[in-house]
Amino acid sequence: MSTSTSLDHLSQCDSIISSILIDLVWGFNVVKPAQCRLDLGHSKDTIIDMVSRLNYNTARLDQGLLELTSIKDYLRRKRILFKSLFKDHLHVYTLLFHPSTPFEVCFNRRLSSLTHKEEYSLIATKNIPSNTPVKNCLATLTKITPKQDQFLTDSNNDWSVLTSLSSGTRIFLGPARFANHDCNNNCQLQRTKDHINLVTIRCIRKGDEILLNYGPHYFGENNEKCFCRSCEAGCKGAFRHANSANSVNSPVDNQLRTRFNSYIRSSTNSSTNHSRSRSLSSGSSSLTPLSSAPSCLDEMLCQNNHCTNEKLPDSAECYTCDIHRRIYKNSWPMRSRPVDTIHTPTNQNQDSEDSAVSEDSTDSDFMSE
C-alpha cells in the first residue's frame, strides 16, 4: 500500500474519516489535512448507534460504515487503489472504538489555551505496562516529497512527519497523530511497512496522557517553545522564564505570559461549555499560582470535570461523556461489552476475530515496574 499511497489520497481519506468518527461522533473539531467534506445529512445518530452496536466487531463496523449511502456514493467515483486505502484507513479509526482499546482521543484544554488552537490528545483509559504496544494506536504512513514537506512546514499546522535516511520523509495520519510531545515522554514510535504504532517506554496509568518525544529542537531551538508538563514542572521550554522577574520586558515572554495567564484563567473557570462550543480563554477570574492548576484528569477528560466523579455525568453538562455512555453503556473510561454480543453463538467467531479482551483484564494484568 505505501508505495502507491499518495499524500493527497491519504489526506482525503483521513479528513473524511476523522470528520465522521472523531468530529461527528464526539462533537470535536480536529484539524484536517485536506478540505474535503462529505454531506452526511442526518446520519449522526445512525453512526453513533452503529458504533454502539458493533464496536466489539470492528470488521462489521467497517462494513456498516462503508454501506452508508453518503460513503458509498463518495467511493463509487474513486479508483480501486483509493477505495482500498480508504478501507484500510477506516479500520485504523474504527479500532479506536473497540472495548479493548486502552486510550481515547480527548480534548486538551490546557494545551489549547497555551497554543490558542483546538488541541486534542490521547488519554489512557486503562493501565498499560512498560515495553508494550499501545493496542490499536495506529496511523497510516505515506512518503512525502521535499516540496510537500516544505509546504507542511510553512502551513501553520504541524503534521506528524518522520525523517529517516533509509525511508526518506514520511507523514503519518490516523489516531496516533494525536499523541502530543513531552520532553519526558512515555511512548515511542514503532514503524511497520505501512503503519506506525506506539510502544510504551514506561508504564502508563489510567488517566495519563500518552506522549511522544518529537525531538530536541521541534519547538524551536532546545524546544524553547515547548508547552509540555515536564517543561512546566522544571521551568524549561516555554516556561523557562515563568518565575523570573527579568523576563517581564521581553516581547516573547510577554506573549507567553498572556497565553499562560489565559490558561490559568480558563482552567480555574469550572463552568466552561462542553466541547462543541469551546472558549479557549474565558472571562476574568483572579490569577492562580501555577501549582494550583488542575490535575491532568480534571482538565482533559471532560470540559466540566465530571469524569473524576464516580457517578455518571449529567448529560446536559458533558457532551463527550454522554456519547461515551451511549456507546459503551458505562461512564468514562469504562467500556462494557454490548449486551447483544454476549453469549450468542453466532457472534463468537466475529468476537474472536477482533481478539478482544474483557473490560477488566487489562487492569488486572497490569504490572507496575
Ligand X SMILES: C[S@@+](CC[C@H](N)C(=O)[O-])C[C@H]1O[C@@H](n2cnc3c(N)ncnc32)[C@H](O)[C@@H]1O
Binding site for ligand X (CB under 6 A): 30-31, 111, 115, 117, 119-121, 158, 160, 177-178, 180-181, 219, 226-228
Nearer to ligand X, 22 or 356 (CB): 22
Tracing cell 495506529 back to the chain, one arrives at: 138
Distance CA(230)–CA(218), nearest Å, equals 15
Q: What is the distance, to the nearest Å, from the Cα of residue 195 to the centroid of all Cα atoms in its chain?
A: 16
Percent of the chain as helix, strand, coil, to the nearest 5 = 45, 15, 45
The three-point CA angle 103-315-282 to 5° equals 80
The minimum distance between CB 110 and ligand X, in angstroms, equals: 10
Residue facing ligand X at closest CB distance: 158
The minimum distance between CB 300 and ligand X, in angstroms, equals: 11
Q: Check: CB of residue 119 under 8 Å from CB of residue 272.
A: no
The minimum distance between CB 223 and ligand X, in angstroms, equals: 8
Distance CA(142)–CA(324), nearest Å, equals 32
Residue type, 108: N
Q: What is the distance, to the nearest Å, from the Cα of residue 302 to the centroid of all Cα atoms in its chain?
A: 14
**Nearest in space to 137 (alpha carbons), one of 173, 175, 170:** 175
Q: Check: CB of residue 230 under 8 Å from CB of residue 209.
A: no
Nearer to ligand X, 97 or 239 (CB): 239
The three-point CA angle 85-87-91 to 5° equals 115
Q: Check: CB of residue 226 under 8 Å from CB of residue 138.
A: no
The minimum distance between CB 238 and ligand X, in angstroms, equals: 7
Helical segments of 229-360, H only: 229-234, 251-268, 296-300, 319-328, 348-353
Cα–Cα distances in Å, from 162 out to 188, 191, 313?
12, 10, 40
Q: Check: CB of residue 251 under 8 Å from CB of residue 97.
A: no
- List the beta bridge partners of residue 142: 171
Nearer to ligand X, 119 or 322 (CB): 119
The minimum distance between CB 267 and ligand X, in angstroms, equals: 16
The minimum distance between CB 118 and ligand X, in angstroms, equals: 7
The minimum distance between CB 75 and ligand X, in angstroms, equals: 26
The minimum distance between CB 241 and ligand X, in angstroms, equals: 16
Nearer to ligand X, 55 or 160 (CB): 160
Distance CA(359)–CA(121), nearest Å, equals 22
The minimum distance between CB 4 and ligand X, in angstroms, equals: 25
The minimum distance between CB 117 and ligand X, in angstroms, equals: 6
Nearer to ligand X, 99 or 174 (CB): 174
Nearer to ligand X, 41 or 216 (CB): 216
Nearer to ligand X, 112 or 200 (CB): 112
Q: Is the peptide bond before 333 cis (omega within 30 degrees of 0)?
A: yes
Residue 188, number of CB atoms within 10 A of its CB = 13
Residue type, 264: I
